[in-house]
Amino acid sequence: MAGLTERLTERLTERLTERLNEGSGMKSCLNWVQNLVCVLIVSAAPLALAGDSDDGSILRERLVKLRPDLPVQSVSSTPLPGIFALELPGGTYLYGTADGKYLFAGDMYELTDTSLVNLAENRRSDYRRDLMEQVNVKDMVVFQPKGPTKAVINVFTDVDCGYCRKLHQEMAELNGLGIEVRYLAYPRAGVDSDSYFKIVSAWCADDQKAAITSLKLGDTIPSKTCANPVADQYELGQKIGISGTPAIVLADGRLLPGYMPAESLANAIGL
């Protein structure tokens, strides 16, 4: 175990030196180290004793007993022997020892030969991808390219959001790059808010795309109601962990929070 700790410490020192040489600020580097320090601590600590639970049940039982209000959705193993991941709503993870004596928060990273892999974010991406695959595209407002579709993005949007409007202004450019934009409703003020009723009216309009465009230009549209997916999509966004709009979910489950210019967005998704 001592040898493993020494190797991890050497790798951490090397990567920190690289980041400083690359010009990363000290605050950025300290935040990066904070995300990794728990892994080093766990590596230096004794592993779970023989006879301890190997499925995380003891950890979960102890945590639920101490914090019955904590909504633990699942417990799963990690690459570190004796350490389990506890998933909370919105893609938040806690980690703890099999004997249920130690618990820590933060993302777990794997240090490969070429990069740092955020294992927690990989789990969140899988979770988001699985949820998005359950959404019927017919329930979205879709802006398709005139030519071949090279990529698809799912955008949780609010018609009263300034950056959502800015992204919508680049719709022609996005479509021109071969990007299909699928809108899902996410009225940030919640169900029964003014934004909620506006976006419901757009989803119920005869021409949904024209209605969405009018609202994003600051215009008004006729109030209308119908059977619609707005509340369900808002709930889906909360499950995914969306806290602001626009929020872009890619086909592989990666989340790109906030506005990005069309060219930058195309680069981010590999076009």
Q: Is 40 exposed, middle or buried (0-12, 13-18, 19+ CB in 10 A)?
A: middle
Please say whether the dihedral angle defined by the alpha carbons of residues 80, 7, 30 and 48, taken in this order, is positive or negative: positive
Annotated active-site residue in 38, 60, 123, 161: 161
Residue 92 sits at φ, ψ, to 5 deg, of -85, 140
Can you read off the two tokens belonging to residue 228? 């619609």
Judge whether 199 and 185 are in contact, CB under 8 Å.
Answer: yes
Active site residue 158: yes
Active site residue 204: no
Q: How far is CA 29 from CA 32, 34, 36, 116, in A?
A: 5, 9, 11, 14
Active site residue 107: no
Annotated active-site residue in 124, 158, 160, 204: 158
Active site residue 161: yes
Annotated active-site residue in 15, 123, 124, 188: 188
Measured CA to CA, the distance from residue 134 to residue 78 in angstroms comes to 27
Measured CA to CA, the distance from residue 146 to residue 136 in angstroms comes to 22
Annotated active-site residue in 60, 107, 164, 182: 164
- Positions annotated as catalytic residues are 158, 161, 164, 188
